[in-house]
């Protein structure tokens, strides 16, 4: 191939070698990205294709997928007619109340930790500890903390004069809040870090100009800091929603089964149980595809909003 | 004015300190409770009146914790190191080597992280269980399902390192090329040392995520001997939740958290700084 190229353009020796180098470069390039691409193909794309295909079949878990009968959109119809599915979806989205709550607290804490005083770095490290801790371990601790009879929360509430504190673990109206509180507590540190990074990216001159104009702390925070942190907030909301839509471990370990009155189980738990407990992998795949579509749409929204923020 | 600022600082410091107590209280309670006898859990305040290590001896005798830790280490150390090396190579190629379709392939790769794990876990399970006509190997009895996917790199890491490498002048690579370095040599001798600080921070975060992983091991590891410590302890804890043996449950949680806490303690500055740095990049 080199020879023909050389013949056609009658290139001098040097140019021929240049072409050669470029080809060699490209080969190295493809070689170095080959492993991640193959990995993506085997572990993500092909399985996802299978999920899509399986969602149109009546595939019992344990049987070969090639032999599963194609049933059209039956699984999706079943899913949309299933009260439990909607309940799991409702629970999953209910948990997301924690996202704005967590962001508001994180924003205030970040503002408090970004004043250039001593010990701030220590606080950042402390508030980040829950982020890196094992969710499994944390879940068991919070199960005890929220114990209705003897947990520290209710002991504290009684000490404060609440004679009949909530039955956190067994009353369907409160169970979700145990998980929300835990999720907020666990995620705070990471939102704080991102907010601080965002705040440090804001030019000092804005603040100085505002101070010259006589703006007070709250005005500066509302009119300068908050709008300029919008990209961080969007990022945190969407990653929070994407992460939240996949919630599994917390409700699974903290509440046995689906929780009191099905109050805590999530879409992923529904997917898992239908597939592995009830052996309805076709139906489970429909839920899996639905979940991916939801996450995809949410990600698109983030890209759209981010794009707007840049302009 | 100066005085007022000082008062504000003191108030904020106090609030942050109180918040720190809230952040750390569950851990403190967990540790002290794990040293209490079963019947003392809710009496006599935070500190144990009688200190006992019964829960720890119980957990060590009842489950093969050492094996669990070794399994977890097997799932979270070598694959993360190998996957990181693969990721650096890919990031280098995406940032510094010219080839056709470079950006398209990168976006393609990046797009894959949009697919959530629960949406692909069932086919992955099927793949690893060897139920296919074209892939008959049953890996569910082996440690491979938790190792193989990590070996092919981490897309977020590639994304981050690619951004990082864009900040390094091309002339550095060009000069090495003129000196006759192959791309592998450039990768190994120049790029890898340059990225080590950023790489190790991200690697540690990846390691921590792998260490704490629960859903994937419960699905893919069917041989109890290969279970990671998270699954072993979750089982142990669930078993003692029935008769409410709180100190044992807390001992289990302590065993899970302490190793990660030590690593975090060693790397905390790197981790926090790299988080802030990558946040700015995003």
Q: Could you give the CA distance from residue A163 to residue A177 in angstroms, rounded to a whole number?
A: 20
Domain count, chain A: 2
Domain ranges within chain B, ordered by starting residue: 2-53, 65-281
Cβ-Cβ contacts under 8 Å for B82 (sequence gap 6 or more): B150, B151
Q: What is the pLDDT of residue B46?
A: 82
Asked if A128 is an interface residue toward chain B (Cβ–Cβ < 8 A), one would say: yes
Element (H, E) at A69: strand A69-70
Domain identity same for A48 and A104: no
Which residues fall within 8 angstroms of residue B225, CB to CB, at 6 or more apart? Answer: B64, B67
Nearest to A133 among B9, B12, B260 (CB): B260
d(CA A254, CA A183): 13
Class of domain B65-281 (CATH, top level): mainly alpha
d(CA A186, CA A255): 18
Q: Which of A32, A65, A190 sits opposite B126 (nearest CB)?
A: A65
Q: What is the pLDDT of residue A310?
A: 46
The predicted complex's ipTM stands at 0.88
- Per the model's pLDDT, the better-predicted residue between B132 and B159 turns out to be B159
Q: Which domain holds residue A125?
A: 74-310
User: Same domain, yes or no, for A42 and A79?
Assistant: no
Which residues lie below 8 Å from residue A165, measured CB to CB, with a gap of 6+? A148, A153, A154, A157, A158
From chain A residues 224-253, the ones with a CB under 8 A of any chain B CB are 232, 235, 242, 245-246, 248-249, 253
Consecutive H or E run containing A190: helix A172-200
Instruction: Tell whether A81 is within 8 A of chain B (Cβ).
Output: no
Q: Do A132 and B260 touch (CB under 8 A)?
A: yes
**A 137-166 residues inside an 8 A Cβ radius of B:** 137-138, 140-145, 150, 152
Same domain, A49 and A131: no
Residues A211, A167, single domain; the answer is yes
CATH number at residue A236: 1.10.3720.10
Six token digits for residue A154 = 């209710």
**Binary contact (A190, B275; C-beta < 8 A):** yes
The two tokens of residue B81 are 């190191």
CA dist B196 → A148, B171, B266 (Å): 49, 20, 16
Q: Do residues B191 and B92 make contact, with C-beta atoms less than 8 angstroms apart? A: yes
pLDDT the model gives residue A54: 94
Domain presence at residue A117: yes
The two structure tokens encoding residue B3: 């005085």
Distance (Å) from the alpha carbon of A213 to chain B's nearest alpha carbon: 18
Return phi, psi of residue A69, to 5°. -80, 135
Residue of A nearest to B209 (CA): A132
Q: Would the CB atoms of B119 and A289 count as touching at under 8 Å?
A: yes
Position A257 scores a pLDDT of 74
- Would you say residue A301 lies in a domain? yes
Question: HSE of A113 in the Cβ direction (CA atoms, 13 Å)?
Answer: 30
> Where are the extended beta strands (E) located within chain B?
none
CA distance A225 to chain B (A): 15
Are B118 and A271 an interchain contact pair (Cβ–Cβ within 8 Å)? yes
pLDDT digits (tens, 9 = 90+) for A11-25: 445 445 555 777 888
Residues A59/A68, Cβ–Cβ less than 8 Å = yes
Does residue B163 or residue B80 have the better pLDDT? B80
Residue A228: inside a domain, yes or no?
yes
Do A8 and A113 lie in one domain? The reply is no
The answer to whether residue B190 scores a pLDDT higher than 70 is: yes
pLDDT for A266 beyond 50:
yes
Work out whether the CA dihedral B158, B160, B162, B165 comes out positive or negative: negative
pTM for the model stands at 0.88
Return the pLDDT at B69.
94
**Consecutive H or E run containing A251:** helix A249-254
Q: Which two tokens stand for residue B98?
A: 């010219």
Say whether both A43 and A85 belong to one domain: no
Looking at the domain assignment, is residue A60 inside a domain?
A: no
pLDDT of residue A155: 86
Write down how long chain A is.
Answer: 311
Same domain, A152 and A277: yes
| A69 beta partners | A58
Q: Is A82's pLDDT higher than 80?
A: yes
Tell me the pLDDT band of B2, cut-offs 50, 70 and 90: confident
Q: Assess whether A30 and A135 both reside in one domain.
A: no
How many helices (H) and strands (E) in chain B?
14, 0
């Amino acid at each position: 191939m080199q020879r023909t190229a050389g013949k056609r353009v009658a290139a001098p020796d040097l140019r021929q070698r240049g072409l050669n180098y470029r080809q060699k470069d490209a080969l190295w390039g493809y070689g170095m990205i080959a492993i991640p691409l193959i990995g993506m193909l085997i572990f993500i794309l092909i399985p996802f294709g299978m999920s899509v295909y399986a969602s149109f079949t009546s595939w019992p878990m344990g049987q070969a997928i090639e032999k599963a009968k194609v049933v059209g959109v039956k699984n999706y119809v079943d899913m949309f007619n299933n009260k439990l599915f909607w309940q799991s979806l409702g629970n999953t989205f209910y948990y997301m109340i924690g996202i704005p709550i967590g962001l508001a607290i994180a924003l205030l804490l970040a503002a408090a930790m970004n004043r250039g005083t001593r010990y701030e770095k220590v606080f950042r490290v402390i508030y980040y500890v829950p982020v890196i801790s094992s969710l499994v371990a944390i879940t068991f601790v919070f199960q005890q903390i929220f114990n209705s009879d003897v947990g520290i929360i209710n002991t504290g509430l009684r000490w404060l004069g609440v004679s009949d504190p909530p039955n956190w673990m067994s009353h369907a109206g409160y169970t979700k809040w145990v998980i929300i509180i835990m999720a907020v507590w666990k995620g705070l540190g990471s939102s704080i870090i991102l907010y601080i990074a965002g705040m440090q990216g804001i030019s000092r001159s804005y603040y100085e100009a505002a101070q010259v104009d006589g703006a007070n702390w709250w005005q500066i925070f509302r009119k300068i800091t908050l709008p300029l942190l919008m990209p961080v907030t969007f990022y945190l909301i969407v990653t929070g929603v994407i992460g939240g839509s996949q919630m599994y471990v917390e409700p699974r370990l903290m509440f046995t089964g689906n929780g009191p009155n099905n109050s805590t189980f999530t879409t992923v738990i529904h997917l898992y149980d239908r597939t592995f407990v009830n052996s309805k992998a076709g139906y489970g795949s429909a839920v899996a595809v639905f979940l991916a579509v939801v996450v995809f749409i949410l990600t698109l929204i983030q890209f759209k909003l981010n794009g707007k923020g840049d302009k | 004015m100066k005085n007022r600022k000082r008062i504000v600082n003191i108030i904020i410091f106090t609030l942050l300190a109180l918040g720190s107590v809230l952040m750390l209280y569950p851990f403190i309670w967990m540790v002290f409770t794990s040293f209490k006898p079963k019947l003392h859990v809710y009496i006599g305040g935070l500190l144990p009146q009688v200190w006992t290590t019964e829960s720890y001896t119980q957990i060590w005798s009842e489950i093969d914790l050492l094996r669990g830790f070794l399994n977890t280490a097997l799932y979270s150390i070598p694959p993360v190191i190998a996957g990181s090396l693969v990721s650096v190579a890919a990031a280098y190629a995406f940032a510094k080597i010219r080839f056709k379709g470079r950006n398209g392939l990168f976006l393609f790769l990046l797009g894959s992280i949009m697919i959530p794990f629960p949406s692909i876990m069932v086919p992955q399970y099927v793949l690893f269980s060897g139920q296919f006509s074209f892939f008959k190997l049953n890996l569910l009895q082996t440690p491979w399902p938790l190792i193989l996917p990590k070996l092919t790199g981490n897309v977020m890491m590639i994304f981050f390192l690619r951004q990082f490498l864009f900040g390094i002048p091309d002339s550095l690579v060009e000069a090495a090329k003129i000196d006759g370095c192959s791309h592998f040599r450039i990768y190994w001798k120049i790029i890898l040392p340059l990225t080590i600080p950023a790489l190790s921070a991200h690697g540690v975060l990846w390691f921590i995520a792998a260490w704490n992983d629960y859903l994937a091991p419960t699905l893919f590891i069917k041989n109890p001997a290969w279970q990671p410590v998270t699954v072993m302890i979750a089982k142990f804890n669930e078993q003692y939740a029935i008769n409410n043996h709180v100190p044992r449950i807390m001992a289990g949680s302590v065993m899970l958290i302490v190793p990660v806490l030590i690593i975090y303690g060693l790397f905390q500055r790197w981790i926090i700084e790299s988080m802030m740095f990558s946040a700015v990049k995003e």
